[in-house]
Chains A and B, each alone.
Chain A
Amino acid sequence: AQRVTQPEKLLSVFKGAPVELKCNYSYSGSPELFWYVQYSRQRLQLLLRHISRESIKGFTADLNKGETSFHLKKPFAQEEDSAMYYCALSVTGGGNKLTFGTGTQLKVEL
């Protein structure tokens, strides 16, 4: 079965500092990877997916199949980036089902 690991429960950085939220996965096939974000008192929303290779709100994530990782990065953290971030995976033929990691709370301090 597939698994998503986010090793950090909490990540605290200063405004303007680089951010890297780690995500590793285990799956023998070719997965599709996602990052979801949940701002305070708001619903979960998609931030980005590896297939689209977009940069959203300054965030990027590259799928590294060799390291089975999909780390989320941003060069300069902003206060409004403070939120809960979840890495998720879906598998081909899996009916669009998502397997979520445990999440990382990002806190950007002034």
Chain B
Amino acid sequence: GAVVSQHPSWVICKSGTSVKIECRSLDFQATTMFWYRQFPKQSLMLMATSNEGSKATYEQGVEKDKFLINHASLTLSTLTVTSAHPEDSSFYICSALKEPEQYFGPGTRLTVT
């Protein structure tokens, strides 16, 4: 199989604080992981590509200093939302690449109050 987990599944934080979301490939190694954002009843929007051992590649319009990505091992990528604001509230989904397919995590619901 190819299972991807995310932690936490939901988180509430206060405006101005930072929150870290973990994405793990449980039974395979992934040199490449992806982070998506999904607004209510809308599609998944790719935020960035996370590459193990190197800097993440961000999509146009995504603030790299706000959404910090670290891919320190072959099974773990983290997304840190820094100085969160209410407009950052969303559903964040990661996927891990096991060629030729992306396997998706269950998502993390972030609410910033």
Contacts and interface: CB of A to CB of B under 8 A. Distances in A.
Contact of B34 (A42, A45, A97): A97
B46 A99 contact: yes
Interface string A22-64: 0000000000000000000011111000000000000000000
B106 A43 contact: yes
Given A44-B93, A45-B104, A102 B43 contact: yes
A103 B43 contact: yes
Interface in B35-49: 41-46, 49
Contacts of B95: 44
Contacts, number: 40
A45 B49 CA distance: 19
Nearest to A88: B44
B97 interface: yes
Nearest to A96: B97
Interface residues of B, number: 22
Interface residues on A, range: 10 to 19
A9 B44 CA distance: 14
B105 A43 contact: yes
Contacts of B34: 97-98
Contacts of A102: 42-43
Contact of B104 (A44, A95, A103): A44
Given A97-B34, A98-B34, A98-B102, 11 more contacts: A42-B106, A43-B107, A44-B44, A44-B104, A46-B101, A95-B32, A95-B57, A96-B102, A98-B46, A101-B43, A102-B42
Interface of B: 4, 32, 34, 41-46, 49, 57, 93, 95, 97, 99-102, 104-107
